[in-house]
Chain A
């Protein structure tokens, strides 16, 4: 009799456990997968999607999107995607994200759609600056593009996506106002931002800075990218003639060049700025808001 009862109990437990397991797996399976090319876009997507979607990012924190070469594991990651998200405007050097998505047959959304790009004149060539997330107003456009794409994919989650997006847009708006207040402490004539590469044009335009960089819009070999002796000479001259107090290295670019320029021009390196990539998990710059906040504090501390 005891054996019989034991057998019955085991079978019942097995049945209930199998049922619970099925439910759990079902819930996991229903989650959509969004694969973003850059850390900024992954953060925007997480803010909109919350726990309703799984957000994966191809670039690791600190990686350079201009020069990145996709690995076989990236193709595997993209193959799991319901939707791919890229920056566009050739930030992803040689269009690596669009190529990955195309090869995997996955839909892709360009988050800079609708943004009025700054056009750079690079030695007679016109190039659209891809670093548009550096103005909070543009970041709001990224978020709006992501919301629209996710709503098409998962209309059942509309209320949640919209509520999350509205909260995040408010955070961006507060961030924008806070940045303007912080920079108010730097005299307008001292607002000169010298960084490793030409990534801060949108930032400079939004917050009243003059921007100088020894390396063009891309750290790669695209048109107008890379370092030229002419650019380098111009940067050193600008630093000297405008009495710049400090210049900045970037987390995703080798700091050697900026350190050399600082020595040559006789100025300090004011700190490290997050540029094409955000910080690693656990750092203050692991989110867009944190990245912008830390950059602003570094700039204010060095230039005030």
Chain B
């Protein structure tokens, strides 16, 4: 009888623990971060100091995507992908540049030199324009170790739009 009692108690306890583990409510999701689109028309200008060539070491999944010479991503999303050779000193413009938000915007740049530029450091100048005007602090030159691709990130901070002046609000 005692054994049966023990078994029953075990079933109740083990079953209870099991049910608790299986059915406990998941933790609440973190509060969603809401991005607000920056006002104005943004553009990105990339100027390499060297001729760009497709990267022989790029990932190739056989899906028809040609190997890139120049890639720029904004928050993980490609905004520029050039697969053909590009001339040194010739700017590449992306306009309009989609995806710029109020706050921090991080760009990732990868520019690949041809194989014969061994022992030479390379640079890429990147700047962001708004409504055709260069923005203060939105320009950077990224450098590479000799012979390797230029790879790096730079950050653009878009401030909160200025609150309308009280006079304007009253229509004067």
- Give A contacts to B, CB under 8 Å: 4, 7-8, 11-12, 15-16, 136-137, 140-141, 144, 147-148, 151, 162, 165-166, 169-170, 172-174, 176-177, 180-181, 184
A144–B61 touching, CB < 8 Å = yes
* Residues from chain A with Cβ under 8 Å of B56 in the complex: 137, 140
Task: Closest A residue to B147 by CB, please name it.
Answer: A177
The answer to whether the Cβ of B6 comes within 8 Å of any Cβ in the partner chain is yes
B118–A11 touching, CB < 8 Å = no
A181–B57 touching, CB < 8 Å = no
A-facing residues in B2-45 (Cβ within 8 Å): 2, 5-6, 9-10, 13-14, 17-18
* Residues from chain B with Cβ under 8 Å of A16 in the complex: 17
**A169 touching B59 in the complex, CB below 8 Å, given contacts A8-B6, A12-B10, A12-B13:** yes
B14–A173 touching, CB < 8 Å = no
- Give B contacts to A, CB under 8 Å: 2, 5-6, 9-10, 13-14, 17-18, 55-62, 118-119, 146-149
Shortest distance between the CB of A176 and any CB in chain B (Å): 7
A4–B2 touching, CB < 8 Å = yes
B59–A147 touching, CB < 8 Å = yes
B147–A181 touching, CB < 8 Å = yes
Query: Among the interface residues B59, B60, B118, which one has the most CB atoms of the partner chain A within 10 A?
Result: B59
Task: Closest A residue to B58 by CB, please name it.
Answer: A169
* Residues from chain A with Cβ under 8 Å of B62 in the complex: 144, 148
Q: How far is the CA of A177 from the CA of B145 in the complex (A)?
A: 10
**A144 touching B59 in the complex, CB below 8 Å, given contacts A177-B148, A181-B119, A184-B119:** yes
Query: Among the interface residues B13, B56, B146, B149, which one has the most CB atoms of the partner chain A within 10 A?
Result: B56
A interface, over-half SS: helix
Q: How far is the CA of A181 from the CA of B115 in the complex (A)?
A: 12
A173–B10 touching, CB < 8 Å = no
Query: Among the interface residues B5, B13, B146, which one has the most CB atoms of the partner chain A within 10 A?
Result: B13
Shortest distance between the CB of A36 and any CB in chain B (Å): 20
Q: How far is the CA of A140 from the CA of B149 in the complex (A)?
A: 16
Shortest distance between the CB of B21 and any CB in chain A (Å): 9
Q: How far is the CA of A141 from the CA of B56 in the complex (A)?
A: 9
Partner of B6 from the list A4, A15, A151, A184 (CB cut-off 8 Å) is A4
Q: How far is the CA of A234 from the CA of B2 in the complex (A)?
A: 94
A173–B149 touching, CB < 8 Å = yes
* Residues from chain B with Cβ under 8 Å of A177 in the complex: 118, 146-148
Q: How far is the CA of A8 from the CA of B13 in the complex (A)?
A: 9
A8–B57 touching, CB < 8 Å = no
Shortest distance between the CB of A269 and any CB in chain B (Å): 30
Partner of A176 from the list B5, B9, B57, B119 (CB cut-off 8 Å) is B57
Task: Closest A residue to B110 by CB, please name it.
Answer: A170
A181–B61 touching, CB < 8 Å = no
A144–B148 touching, CB < 8 Å = no
Q: How far is the CA of A141 from the CA of B60 in the complex (A)?
A: 8
* Residues from chain A with Cβ under 8 Å of B147 in the complex: 177, 180-181
Query: Among the interface residues A148, A172, A177, A184, which one has the most CB atoms of the partner chain B within 10 A?
Result: A177
